[in-house]
Amino acid sequence: MRKRDQGIKILGRFYMALCILFIMGPIIVTIIFSFNLDRFASLPWQGFTLKWYNEIFSNKDIMASLRNSLFVGIAVSLTSVVLGFTGAYGMRHWKSKLKAPFTLVSLSPLMVPWTLLGLALLIFFNKVGIPKGLLTVWISHVVFTAPLALTMINARMQTIPKTMDDAAWDMGAGDFYTMFLVLLPQTFPAIASSALMTFTLSFDEFIIAWFVCGFETTLPVYIYTVIRSGIKPTINALGAIVFGFSLCLISLAQFLQRKKDNNY
């Protein structure tokens, strides 16, 4: 019986390794060929080089789109965290039968396919006369990142006893001081985690940005426009950098989330 359990355990590990290899395989190949001396992603290996990484930083179009993505990502992250925190605080003290429907409506953008959401936002901006650019990308990304931040922050805030609010009010603190001096420190790990997560989503998002960016392209949109004429070695290098950057942010977000769970 023990041998059977051990065999099942080994088989399960082998299956998980195959799943990880299947998921990570294309990314691993991209990273490997980003160091290949040959201009074409093909075997045999022609030699190791950092030439394609150097070309990234000398390409003005890539750097401009990178700055756009960083600017939009930071703006989206800050906006989503503010909306998520204030929304979670309001829901914490909202006693109404409309609370459940309001929560459902608030999370509805996460349930809509991004292609339909991007098309709807494009039609909306055209109707109200807002020109396409980084402003429209920022607004569009907040539409789906703010509900995510609200969910993450609200999940943490619901674990904080409301007696802490009552104690702060009894000692003379108003709603403002209670929110920022009592609840904000308690929810900070969730806030930091949601900030990193929303930044990563905005930085990597392509579909909605492609609909509403206009001539001010973000990095994913730039990559798409380039690969339409063929995959270049610099795109492999750029993909490797973006993957590593996103992986670091997500790992840090998960670390903060686990730290929060361990502390409470």
pLDDT of residue 145: 92
| Tens digits of pLDDT across the chain (264 residues) | 566 667 677 777 787 888 877 777 777 777 777 777 766 666 666 667 777 788 788 888 888 888 999 999 999 999 999 999 888 888 877 777 777 777 787 788 888 888 888 899 999 999 888 899 899 999 999 999 999 999 888 888 888 777 777 777 767 667 677 777 778 778 888 888 888 889 988 988 888 999 998 888 888 888 888 777 666 777 778 778 877 877 787 777 777 666 555 555
Backbone angles phi, psi at 129, to 5 degrees: 80, 25
Q: If you ran DSSP here, which 8-state letter would residue 227 be given?
A: H
> Is there a contact between 184 and 254 (Cβ–Cβ < 8 Å)?
no
pLDDT of residue 239: 77
> What CATH number has the domain spanning 46-263?
1.10.3720.10
pLDDT of residue 73: 92
Domain residue spans of the chain: 1-33, 46-263
Cis-peptide, bond into residue 44, ω within 30° of zero? yes
Helices (H), the chain: 2-33, 51-58, 60-92, 99-107, 114-128, 134-157, 163-170, 175-178, 184-204, 207-212, 219-227, 233-263
pLDDT of residue 252: 76
> Is there a contact between 218 and 69 (Cβ–Cβ < 8 Å)?
yes
Model's pTM, two decimal places?
A: 0.79
